[in-house]
């Protein structure tokens, strides 16, 4: 066998090394590294039901990322398509966390929940996973909503005090454990034509003001159930006339034994002035309801319940919701 020179030996070694590199992996009989698929679907919870319903819509353009468990490194990232879906393929087996970039959602939408599987684990036997991403508007209490600046779109969960069909201005009044609030420019989901005291609802609305008091404007109301109609807060006429310094704005209250001192038609409504000795209060009878105005005579007394509505100059009306809210004696 002929001897090889040092230069020839070096050239042959380099050739063999290169061939070994070219034949790595499957070429040498090793199986390809197994990978999996992760699919995420994003939807906007428009009715606040916390589940996917016919009222909801898919959400395009949300940036979804897979973060490696432990290190938090981004393994894959992409935007949801027009159908709200993003599909990651060739994901190495392992554990991941699904996150959504808040910056891709705009100023008003946020991640409400990632249902099904926020934590994803791909194994040799489970090589695919799905996650449902629920997006929504911020959910706040009524007290928090009242404190927000105008123009914020939020969800609230509340109980109806008076229905949208009750007053001619089509306002509705709702309360939760923290406060009460008026809804303006109300629309109802689900083909409803009205809502009833005691209805449990979610409301999507825009924080606003009317005659100096906070409201939820462009309110979209979804009804989810019913409970016993709320009981009014019993207060004196003086406290009702100021809504306790505004703290009881939009609340459901009741006055007892108010002496009628004056009546006046304020077209198209009817105003009754009463006092129980603690201060004067206007009771405003809405034209939408069939009150017997002639029964409200000066010198008689009345028990009345209703919601408190500001008059815009520092006082509040008590507005009964229907004739059953008043007794004259």
Domain-embedded: residue 59: yes
Judge contact between 213 and 233, C-beta under 8 A.
no
pLDDT value for 114: 77
pLDDT value for 54: 87
pLDDT tens, position by position, 249-304: 999 999 999 999 999 999 999 999 999 999 999 999 999 999 999 999 999 999 99
pTM for this one? 0.78
pLDDT value for 1: 39
Question: Cβ atoms within 10 A of the Cβ of 209, count?
Answer: 14
Write the CB contacts of 271 (distance below 8 Å, at least 6 apart in sequence): 263, 264, 265, 282, 283, 284, 285, 317
Domain-embedded: residue 242: yes
Domain residues for 239? 233-328
d(CA 246, CA 314): 9
Question: Which class for 202: exposed (0-12), middle (13-18), buried (19 or more C-beta within 10 A)?
Answer: buried
pLDDT value for 261: 98
Domain-embedded: residue 278: yes
pLDDT tens, position by position, 134-168: 998 899 999 999 999 999 999 999 999 999 999 99
Q: Are residues 299 and 243 in the same domain?
A: yes
Domain-embedded: residue 146: yes
d(CA 112, CA 139): 9
Question: Cβ atoms within 10 A of the Cβ of 258, count?
Answer: 26
Q: What is the DSSP string of 62-126?
A: -EEEEEETTT--EEEEEE--TTSEEEEEEEESEEEEEEE-GGGSTTT-EEEEEES-SEEEE-SS-
pLDDT value for 26: 44
Picking from 226, 246, 265, the residue at the C-terminal end of a domain is 226
Residues 149-187, buried b or exposed e (16+ Cβ, 10 A)? Answer: eeebebbbbbbbbbbbebbeeebbbbbbeebbbbbbbbe
Domain-embedded: residue 162: yes
Q: Are residues 181 and 242 in the same domain?
A: no
pLDDT value for 118: 67
Domain-embedded: residue 280: yes
Picking from 136, 163, 180, the residue at the C-terminal end of a domain is 136
Judge contact between 264 and 271, C-beta under 8 A.
yes
φ, ψ of residue 322 in degrees (nearest 5): -165, 170
Q: Are residues 93 and 125 in the same domain?
A: yes
* Total count of domains within the chain: 3
Domain-embedded: residue 4: no
pLDDT value for 115: 65
Which positions of the chain have pLDDT values less than 50? 1-28, 30
């Amino acid at each position: 066998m002929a001897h090889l020179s040092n230069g020839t030996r070096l050239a042959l070694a380099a050739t063999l090394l290169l061939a070994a590199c070219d034949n790595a992996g499957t070429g040498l009989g090793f199986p390809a590294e197994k990978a999996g698929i992760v699919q995420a679907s994003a939807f906007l919870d428009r009715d606040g039901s916390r589940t996917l319903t016919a009222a909801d819509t898919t959400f395009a353009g949300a940036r979804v990322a897979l973060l490696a468990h432990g290190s938090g490194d981004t393994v894959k990232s992409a935007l949801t398509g027009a159908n709200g879906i993003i599909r990651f393929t060739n994901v190495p087996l392992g554990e991941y966390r699904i996150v959504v970039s808040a910056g891709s959602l705009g100023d008003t939408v946020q991640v409400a929940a990632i249902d099904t599987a926020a934590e994803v684990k791909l194994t040799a036997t489970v090589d695919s996973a799905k996650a449902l991403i629920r997006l929504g508007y911020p959910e706040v209490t009524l007290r928090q909503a009242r404190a927000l600046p105008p123009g914020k779109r939020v969800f609230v969960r509340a109980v109806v005090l008076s229905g949208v069909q009750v007053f001619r201005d089509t306002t509705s009044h709702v309360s939760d454990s923290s406060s009460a609030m008026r809804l303006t420019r109300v629309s109802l989901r689900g083909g409803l034509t009205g809502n009833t005291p005691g209805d449990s609802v979610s409301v999507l609305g825009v924080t606003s003001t009317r005659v100096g008091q906070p409201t939820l404007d462009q309110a979209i109301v979804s009804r989810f159930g019913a409970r016993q109609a709320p009981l009014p807060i019993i207060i004196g006429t003086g406290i009702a006339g100021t809504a306790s310094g505004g703290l009881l704005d939009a609340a459901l209250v009741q006055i007892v034994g108010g002496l009628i001192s004056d009546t006046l038609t304020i077209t198209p409504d009817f105003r009754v002035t009463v006092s129980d000795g603690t201060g004067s209060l206007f009771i405003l009878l809405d034209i939408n309801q069939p009150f017997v105005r002639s029964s409200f005579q000066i010198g008689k007394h009345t028990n009345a319940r209703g919601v408190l509505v500001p008059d815009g100059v520092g006082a509040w009306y008590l507005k009964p919701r229907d004739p059953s809210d008043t007794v004259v004696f």
